[in-house]
Chain A
């Protein structure tokens, strides 16, 4: 770079000649040089700023453009990532305790129409009615020729029906994929499974929602995609449920009953192995609830869980167990059961106006004496009786995992007087469901622990707080066994399985109050088997049964519910894997001889 000298000789000499100050020239040049340096620095700084600005602009421009494309583009699944288990969006299956399917999904199609795209609406309407006779041809024709642009024709199609609709060849008929709930076993365990229907519907998919039973109770869980399709495992056993329903149906027909219910429960885990209520229905085609009349007459009504009945003498064993527990009596204490006995101005009588006279506590249960248990109840007192029954769970609906369970709230007396106490001691005046009774009997059978009935498979015993001493439970169990061997439930004897249980015959209260029917009863048999090593309780309840093989119609539980329960135990116990205990008898035909 050529620097301009600050004191150029020519100008200095010239200035000296003219008598000027040469320092002025130097100052002038210095000033010019400073200005030049300044301008240069300034332009360089400006250039740098420009570069910086461009860089920032580009960087933010790229980020902005990327954000814009992300926001505006269609979302796509990442293709390069390999996810281990893909999210399964369909509703989870329901299986029994051995993994056999009770409810699953099936792919099917729905049929909808775009009437504005139709070529020959009239022909389409007539052809559709040929395939689906339940459709109304006039209505279809009106819809197809009207102003509507969209309409559903059918929610579910079978593959054959789909092919037939295809064959019509109408471009205005369209199919949408659907996932439908299928119950392959038909009416089996229908009251537990409930049913499912479509929620929000679109052309491409529809929500499957549970409408009743366990489907509704666990609706959220079953639909949760995070389950990854893991099935819901119930405590029910398909085979045993089928055998139970079969025997119960046979028993119901044989005993001319209007309805029937049974509960088979594991006494240690509270698992319900089989629970049936008849009449039943097909959950694939769930009937509509009744709009008039008694809800209990609908096949949708679950007698085992929703139905609250006065369960009669089956309650007596709770009274005697509490009396034993409190130390008021022991099984051999003799109590006078002779009449007359009046409580609160109400006469307490026995079945068929019998008079048993003095009886031991054990015999009160065996012979089913109302006055005997009434006297025990008076000795116990109302307060303590309430606490005991509350502990057994008779004050609250059962915690079973179906939505209907909350409706099975026991009916308690409004004021718990001495008379209530006495009638409840033999099972009148307190209405509860057969499932409540099963839970109560389970507490006696398992040695005195509370158990809560459940429909989910459990991994081990689920014993609650202790309600009575083991000795009390054992003594009560022995009484139940004696009821079968020498008492009212003699038809309950099943060879190989020592059955213990208590019968209950309760008159049906009239629907509008005002006493009881004379010829309508609820018969119940609450049983425990095998009593030498109790494992299961079985409750069988028949609604309005009558046994007509004799000269007079018989309506006691010993003639109706007990034989049904015995047959059920004979069928079900081997399926449960219980080995019969064979009593070794003296072999006949062998005589001691000597010669």
Chain B
């Protein structure tokens, strides 16, 4: 009985050691992943900063104004003017669709002249 207990304890220790060994390696791998993800985040952030700077640079008012002038024939962009403001009631509502003609009546103007007095 006692020797069985010893054997069981020994096996438990072996199993625990095996599990701990694996957990240790999994943890190391997870830490490595986390670090590389963190590196990617830092890279992405740096790239984002560059893209933002470039966006701001490409959208600087001077350049947009020059582009609007160069492409004036095609786009006809003008500075915003006070008379470009409108009111909602100045916009026409869309016309209601015409009702479908369900029973058409054949009419002809032939002979209309003759009925005139």
| A residues apposed to B, CB below 8 Å | 79-80, 82, 86, 88, 90, 100-101, 104-107, 182, 184-186, 188, 238-239, 242-243, 246, 494-497, 570-571, 573-575, 579-580
Contact = CB atoms under 8 A, between A and B. Distances in A.
Given A79-B31, A82-B34, A575 B80 contact: yes
Contact of A104 (B49, B62, B80, B85): B49
B61 interface: yes
B98 to A, nearest CB: 33
Nearest to B38: A86
Contacts of B85: 574, 579-580
B61 A185 contact: yes
Given A80-B31, A106-B50, A186 B82 contact: no
Contacts of B53: 101, 104-106, 182, 184
B57 interface: yes
A579 to B, nearest CB: 5
15 contacts: A79-B34, A86-B38, A86-B41, A101-B52, A188-B61, A238-B61, A242-B65, A243-B79, A495-B82, A497-B82, A570-B82, A573-B82, A575-B80, A579-B85, A580-B83
B74 interface: no
A574 B61 contact: no
Nearest to A182: B53
B84 interface: yes
- Most A CB within 10 A of own CB, among B34, B61, B82, B85: B82
B50 to A, nearest CB: 7
Contacts of A105: 49, 53
Nearest to B62: A186
Interface in B52-70: 52-53, 55-57, 59-62, 65
Interface residues of B, number: 27
B77 interface: no
Nearest to A105: B49
Contact of B56 (A101, A570, A579): A101
Nearest to B87: A579
A242 B35 contact: no
A32 B56 CA distance: 103
B13 interface: no
Contacts of A579: 85
B46 interface: yes
A522 B97 CA distance: 65
Contacts of B38: 86
Interface string B73-101: 00000011111110000000000000000
B50 A107 contact: yes
Query: From DSSP, what is the main secondary structure of chain B's interface residues?
Result: helix
A86 B39 CA distance: 12
A243 B81 CA distance: 12
A186 to B, nearest CB: 6
Given A184-B53, A185-B61, A242-B61, 9 more contacts: A79-B34, A79-B35, A80-B31, A182-B57, A184-B60, A238-B61, A497-B82, A571-B79, A574-B81
Contacts of A104: 49, 52-53, 56
B82 A107 contact: no
Contacts of B31: 79-80
Contacts of B35: 79
Contacts of B27: 80
A90 B45 CA distance: 12
A185 B49 contact: no
Contacts of B57: 182, 184
Nearest to A575: B80
A165 to B, nearest CB: 21
A261 B79 CA distance: 22
Contact of B49 (A80, A106, A243, A494): A106
Contacts of B81: 570, 574
B60 A186 contact: yes
A185 B82 contact: no
B29 to A, nearest CB: 12
Contacts of A182: 53, 57
Going nearest first, the 10 A-B pairs with the smallest beta carbon separation are A242-B61, A184-B56, A101-B56, A184-B57, A580-B82, A574-B80, A496-B82, A185-B60, A79-B31, A104-B53
A426 B46 CA distance: 56
Contacts of A79: 31, 34-35
A107 B49 CA distance: 9
Contacts of A188: 60-62
A56 B16 CA distance: 31
Interface string B19-39: 000000001000100110010
A494 B83 CA distance: 12
- Most A CB within 10 A of own CB, among B34, B45, B46, B53: B53
B89 to A, nearest CB: 14
B56 A100 contact: yes
B86 to A, nearest CB: 9
Nearest to B42: A86
A492 to B, nearest CB: 15
Nearest to A573: B82
Contacts of B83: 496, 580
Contact of B61 (A239, A494, A570, A573): A239
A320 B60 CA distance: 44
- Most A CB within 10 A of own CB, among B27, B31, B49, B62: B49
Contact of B46 (A80, A107, A574): A107
Nearest to B35: A79
Nearest to A242: B61
Contacts of A496: 82-83
A364 B65 CA distance: 43
A185 B59 CA distance: 8
Nearest to B86: A579
A242 B84 CA distance: 20
Contacts of B80: 571, 574-575
